[in-house]
Amino acid sequence: MTTESAPTTDRSAIVRLDHVGRVFTMGEVKVEVLRDFSLDIYEGEFLAIVGPSGSGKSTILNLVGGLDQPTSGEVLFRGEDLTSASNRRLTAYRRDHVGFVFQFYNLAPNLTARENVLTATEIARDPADVDEVLEMVGLTERADHFPAQLSGGEQQRVAIARAVAKNPDLLLCDEPTGALDYTTGIKALRLLVDVNRRLGATIVLITHNSAIAETADRVVHLRSGQISDLVINPHPIAPEEVTW
């Protein structure tokens, strides 16, 4: 791995965080999680964000995904300022452009695997074929099972299928392997890498596991809401090569 020496100017940003501040106010207490935080996420890249618990990783992902808005600065999607966007516009942004994968899957328990995926394609602008996506994640045989009838790894594959089936420009993953054992985690990571390489989706992956980050094109190291290091992997390793 080499440390990035100069800002890359020849790639366009799908999302730009421009001097972003995020302060949470709880009663009398103000928690400043991000201050003057700037980062470009490039079209088509696989970006990992690593850092200890509480360093602001999820806060950043939520801002990128339009689940949250900054207290200062701007978040731009392909040049459009999301900071001043209405709730209605943000909802459309999430619906049309963003897929989320969370650590604890967030599946609807009363819907089958297939139905969970359908909830995403029914609202998407240009959805993928549900059966093709289920096949891609290896769940064709389990499509009619409910989440409670699936293992953790299978549930995460449903969650990935649901996010991918929207054909999102941005796939945002918050500790997607955090609840999985090693082998299952590697399989989930493989799926994400395939989605990036084959479908061209930009991926932002949060992990506190720096071994996993070696599969990404670039790695942002976060410490107390600041970028402590920004590393480019000229040769990202395959998920199957990850060891920890």
Binding residues for ligand ADP (CB under 6 A): 24, 26, 31, 33, 51, 53-59
33 interacts with, out of Mg ion, ligand ADP, none, CB within 5 to 8 A per kind: ligand ADP
10 Å Cβ neighbour count for 118?
A: 16
Give the nearest distance from C-beta 104 to ligand ADP in angstroms.
14
Give the nearest distance from C-beta 59 to ligand ADP in angstroms.
3
Alpha carbon separation from 120 to 35, 67, 135 (Å, rounded): 34, 17, 16
Give the nearest distance from C-beta 208 to ligand ADP in angstroms.
8
**To which H or E segment does residue 3 belong?**
strand 2-3
156 touches Mg ion by CB under 5 A: no
6 interacts with, out of Mg ion, ligand ADP, none, CB within 5 to 8 A per kind: none
56 interacts with, out of ligand ADP, Mg ion, none, CB within 5 to 8 A per kind: ligand ADP
Are 21 and 32 in contact, with CB atoms under 8 Å apart? yes
The b-or-e profile of 85-105 (16+ CB within 10 A means b, else e) is beeeebeebbeebbbbbbbeb
Give the nearest distance from C-beta 81 to Mg ion in angstroms.
25
Alpha carbon separation from 127 to 79, 119, 136, 163, 239 (Å, rounded): 24, 11, 15, 10, 27
Give the nearest distance from C-beta 212 to ligand ADP in angstroms.
15
Q: How far apart are CA 208 and CA 243, in angstroms?
A: 14
Give the nearest distance from C-beta 71 to ligand ADP in angstroms.
12
Residue 119 vs 210, nearer CB to Mg ion: 210
177 touches Mg ion by CB under 5 A: no
84 interacts with, out of Mg ion, ligand ADP, none, CB within 5 to 8 A per kind: none
Q: How far apart are CA 141 and CA 89, in angstroms?
A: 38
29 interacts with, out of ligand ADP, Mg ion, none, CB within 5 to 8 A per kind: none
User: For residue 240, what are the contacts with CB-CB under 8 A and spacing of at least 6?
Assistant: 186, 190
202 touches Mg ion by CB under 5 A: no
Residue 95 vs 221, nearer CB to Mg ion: 221
Burial (Cβ within 10 Å: 0-12, 13-18, ≥19) of residue 5? exposed
Are 160 and 137 in contact, with CB atoms under 8 Å apart? yes
Give the nearest distance from C-beta 23 to ligand ADP in angstroms.
9
58 touches Mg ion by CB under 5 A: yes
Fill in the per-residue mask, 18 to 57: x = in contact with Mg ion (CB under 5 A), - = not in contact: ---------------------------------------x
Q: How far apart are CA 217 and CA 240, in angstroms?
A: 16
Nearest residue to 176 via CA among 97, 100, 62? 100
Residues near Mg ion (CB under 5 A) are 57-58
